[in-house]
Copies of this chain bind each other. A is one copy, B any other.
Amino acid sequence: MKFTGLCAFPLTPLQPAAAALSHSGFAVDEAAFAALVERLADAGVDSIGALGSTGSYAYLSRAERARVAELAVQSAGTVPVVIGVSALSTREVLANVDDAQRAGASAVLLAPMSYQRLTEEEVFGLYERVAAELSVPVVVYDNPATTGFTFTAGLHGRIAELPGMGSIKIPPVPTSPDAASAAVAHYREHIPANVTLGVSGDGSAAAGLIAGCDAWYSVLAGVLPRECLDLTRAAQSGDHATAAAISSRFAPFWDLFAAHGSLRVVAAVAEELGLTGPDALPHPVRGLDGVGRRAVAAALDTAGVSRG
């Protein structure tokens, strides 16, 4: 697969488990998940990232993750699927890699998830070990807010030289054009041309794509794929004004993401659009309260998104 354009990350919607399984607490809503993935494929996204942070991978069992990977590939049609394989132990990462490859993943997404703070050598060792097991490419997932690990550009460069590295999902870039270009150029000094750079932090997507990022790894595209495709295609065609204008329409979302975390906000969007049931997040994580939900509905109105 090519690691360019729009990669949309669907939620993995949950639902309360059957009462008999008293401590299970939740189960994957498989029908809702499959429908979310089909909707992304129908919209024409370039790739689909299942079991990313937005896909609540960190809260699911190995068996649930294997099942979600299967469903994602089955529901995506011809759209390539990237499967998140991160876990706290290398042992569990390798098990997830097996499951993802068996499910037909086109690539895997791997973050240096940490409990004990990891050293650079430990993180390099993780990617080296996983690279040795893989027959599909790796997307390096750099997300200090959730993993507790901060990459240097130098470490990215070392990892990017390993066999099978396809792309790096970088943290948000600054939104001012000069600073965004400088940030992307700094990565490029260390990273070979065969490894693409994908921006995350949806509020900085337009800035990142305009500054030369090859891809957008998008949370919002998991629920609003058409709107995010419009932004991506405008940026790719050099129509920076349109890309920036679309991003501005979604400014209330970027504020809500900053206030509540993107997962809680897109879960509220999915429920507002009728794509999932209520309480679709893994406890202890909870959905937005009434005030937050009303702000999400208002943000959808501001962006001109029609419902139902």
CB proximity of A91 to chain B, nearest CB, Å: 4
Total copies of this chain within the assembly: 2
Contact stretch, chosen from A20-28, A100-108, A170-178, A184-192:
A20-28
Contacts of A263 in B (CB 8 A): 116
Cβ of A24 and Cβ of B91 under 8 Å apart?
yes
Docked Cα-Cα span, A40 to B286, in Å, equals 40
Q: Which of B26, B58, B121, B126 has a CB less than 8 Å from the CB of A88?
A: B58
Cβ of A88 and Cβ of B59 under 8 Å apart?
yes
Contacts of A118 in B (CB 8 A): 284-285
Docked Cα-Cα span, A118 to B58, in Å, equals 14
Contacts of A88 in B (CB 8 A): 58-59, 282
Cβ of A89 and Cβ of B59 under 8 Å apart?
yes
A residues sitting closer than 8 Å to B (CB atoms) are 23-26, 53, 58-59, 88-91, 94-95, 98, 112-113, 115-119, 121-123, 125-126, 129, 145-146, 148, 261, 263, 282-286
Contacts of A122 in B (CB 8 A): 284-286
Cβ of A95 and Cβ of B59 under 8 Å apart?
no
Cβ of A146 and Cβ of B115 under 8 Å apart?
yes
